[in-house]
């Protein structure tokens, strides 16, 4: 019979995030949420670029940006404008839908 000491603990991520970054809706949490989204979108764009076997320089040339800008986006280090995101996604053959939040 398995004892309580041998069971893995499950963590409440909401509680962990609140402890580290503040409660949901606070300015501190919003900043971290924005950083997380920038990283997430950067990962999507980088993975697709690599799928297409494009270099950062080649992608940058397609969208009229510097290679360093593409690198920053892929690392989640910059907050890109929506127009840049649309242009980069299009150059990578990606599309997306905007839907109202319900």
Domain count, the chain: 1
Torsion of CA 14, 79, 87, 54, to 10 degrees: -80
Q: What is the pLDDT of residues 38-94, one digit of tens each?
A: 999 999 999 999 999 999 999 999 999 999 999 999 999 988 898 999 999 999 999
Q: Which domain holds residue 86?
A: 15-91
pLDDT surpasses 70 at 16: yes
CATH number at residue 45: 1.10.260.40
H-type alpha helices, 1-102: 13-21, 27-51, 56-63, 67-75, 82-91
Q: Is residue 96 part of a domain?
A: no
- Is the pLDDT at 10 greater than 70? The verdict is no
Phi/psi for 15 (5° steps) reads -65, -40
The 10s digit of each residue's pLDDT in 19-43 is: 878 888 888 888 888 888 899 999 9
In-domain check, residue 102: no
Residue 63 lies in a domain: yes
């Amino acid at each position: 019979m398995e004892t309580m000491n041998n069971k893995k603990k499950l963590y409440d991520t909401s509680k962990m995030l609140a402890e580290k970054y503040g409660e949901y809706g606070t300015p501190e949490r919003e900043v971290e949420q924005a950083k997380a989204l920038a990283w997430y979108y950067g990962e999507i764009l980088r993975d697709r670029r690599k799928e297409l076997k494009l270099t950062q320089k080649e992608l940058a040339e397609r969208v009229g940006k510097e290679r360093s800008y593409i690198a920053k986006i892929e690392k989640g280090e910059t907050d890109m404008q929506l127009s840049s995101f649309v242009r980069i996604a299009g150059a990578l053959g990606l599309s997306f839908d905007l839907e109202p939040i319900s």
